């Protein structure tokens, strides 16, 4: 098997697939790793895939120059967001000032990227997505917009931002504004599908998927949890314990204080603000560039001071990648052997799983 980058180190950014003129590259998803596999029969040895791959390039990182905690001024925007609504506020402002925005959406059972310059479309981007998303095709669209003289704001994972910057090149980057999200790691969508199938769901049948509601972590379809509302399901147990990510995530070169984007967003965990304010959602905002400062100044955001050392201490991926759990190999061995998602998690994190099972029973009894 010939791969674009080192075996099991592929981020799934899709830049190599997008740039290949012969459609000779296929992303192989083996549950615990992605690999960009080259079809030797189609390949013409143009080497474009190797040149565009972020694992084969040094990507410039910048130290934050300003940092805040805050939230969207619009309380409706804040309440509908996973955290403080900073990403939505930035997108709304950018569109109002004549630009295009691009980020991940959930559509027809897939986590894809879309681009718009319409204010009424911004809501489709809201919410955290705790799964690998697919940017295939979006880099070309953004490059075409930049070539046409448009300004574009891209919000995605650090590896996706790096891929986009490499794809558009230095000549077009002046009108490209980027925001990366503090990322613990991402699982293959196949794992989410395995989890859902236990309850008779297919990803394609879900209309409005969500993974958290402020500090309540649970896979939902709209307002309804896949299991009992208020219970952390096995998918989120696996995610929060970091046992379900693909191999590359544990060696992520972007999990550090120096960042790849104009702005970095995350949750202001460990905030010194009141419990009431935190319950409404508070974003952590790091600014790395003049373009980032420009975005912040124009957006309708309420900004507060933040202790950067405390913020870093409570967001470990600003220091280092997630540490691969000792139960990682046994968890994936269990899944690959055909054991259900729930049973595989019960084996790996029995106490946590049983605790949530008891909580589910108590909630059901209370409802009766």
| pLDDT tens-digit map of 214-273 | 888 999 998 888 888 889 999 999 999 999 999 999 999 999 999 999 999 999 999 999
- Strand arrangement of the beta sheet that strand 209-213 belongs to: 209-213, 216-221, 224-225
What average pLDDT does the segment 337-348 reach?
Answer: 97
Residue 5 inside a domain? The answer is: no
pLDDT exceeds 60 at position 368: no
- pLDDT of 230 reads 87
Whether residues 210 and 142 share a domain: the answer is no
CA 173 to chain centre: 22
pLDDT in tens, 85-101: 999 999 999 999 999 99
pTM of the model: 0.96
Length of the chain equals 368
DSSP assignment of 192-242: HHHHHHTTT--GGG-SSEEEEETTEEEEEETTEESSSTT---HHHHHHHTT
Tokens found for residue 333: 């061995």
Structure tokens at 365: 């009894």
Residue-level pLDDT at 179: 98
299, 318, 337 — which closes off a domain?
318
> What is the tally of structural domains in the chain?
3
Tell me, yes or no, whether 175 lies in a domain.
Answer: yes
Q: What gap in Å lies between CA 183 and CA 249, rounded to an integer?
A: 9
Q: Give the pLDDT confidence of 151-200 residue by residue, as tens digits.
A: 999 999 999 999 999 999 999 999 999 999 999 999 999 999 999 999 99
What b/e readout covers 144-175, taking b as 16+ CB neighbours within 10 angstroms? ebbeeebbbbbbbbbbbbbbbbbbbeeebeeb
Q: Which whole-number Å values give the CA distances from 217 to 15, 180, 226, in the listed order?
A: 31, 21, 12
Q: Are 339 and 351 part of one and the same domain?
A: yes
- Mean pLDDT throughout 334-355? 97
**225 and 331: one domain?**
yes
Question: Residue 367 — pLDDT band, cuts 50, 70, 90?
Answer: low
């Amino acid at each position: 098997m010939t791969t674009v980058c080192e075996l099991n180190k592929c981020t799934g950014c899709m830049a190599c697939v997008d740039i290949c003129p012969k459609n000779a590259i296929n992303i192989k998803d083996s549950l615990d790793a992605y690999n960009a596999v080259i079809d030797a029969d189609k390949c013409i040895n143009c080497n474009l895939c190797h040149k565009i791959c972020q694992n084969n390039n040094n990507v410039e990182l910048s130290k934050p120059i300003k940092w805040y905690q805050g939230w969207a001024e619009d309380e409706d925007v804040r309440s509908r967001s996973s955290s403080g609504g900073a990403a939505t506020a930035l997108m709304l402002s950018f569109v109002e000032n004549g630009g295009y925005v691009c980020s991940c959406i959930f559509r027809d059972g897939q986590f894809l990227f879309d681009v718009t310059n319409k204010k009424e479309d911004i809501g489709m981007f809201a919410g955290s997505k705790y799964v690998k998303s697919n940017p295939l095709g979006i880099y070309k669209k953004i490059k075409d917009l930049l070539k046409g003289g448009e300004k574009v704001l891209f919000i995605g994972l650090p590896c996706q931002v790096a891929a986009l910057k490499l794809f558009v090149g230095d000549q077009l980057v002046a009108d490209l504004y980027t925001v990366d999200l503090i990322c613990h790691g991402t699982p293959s969508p196949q794992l989410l599908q395995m989890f859902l199938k236990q309850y008779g769901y297919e990803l394609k049948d879900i209309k409005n998927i969500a993974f958290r509601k402020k500090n309540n972590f649970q896979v939902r379809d709209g307002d309804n949890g896949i299991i009992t509302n208020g219970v952390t399901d096995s998918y989120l147990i696996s995610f929060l314990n970091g046992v379900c990510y693909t191999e590359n995530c544990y060696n992520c070169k972007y999990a550090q204080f120096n960042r790849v984007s104009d702005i970095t967003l995350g949750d202001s965990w460990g905030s010194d603000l009141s419990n009431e304010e935190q319950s409404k959602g508070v974003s952590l905002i790091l600014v790395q560039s003049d373009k980032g400062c420009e975005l912040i100044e124009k957006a309708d955001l309420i900004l507060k001071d933040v202790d950067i050392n405390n913020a870093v201490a409570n967001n470990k991926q600003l220091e280092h990648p997630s540490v691969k759990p000792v139960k990682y190999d046994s968890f994936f061995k269990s899944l690959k052997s055909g054991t259900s998602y729930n049973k595989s998690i019960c084996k790996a994190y029995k106490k946590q799983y049983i605790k949530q099972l008891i909580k589910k029973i108590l909630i059901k009894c209370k409802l009766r």
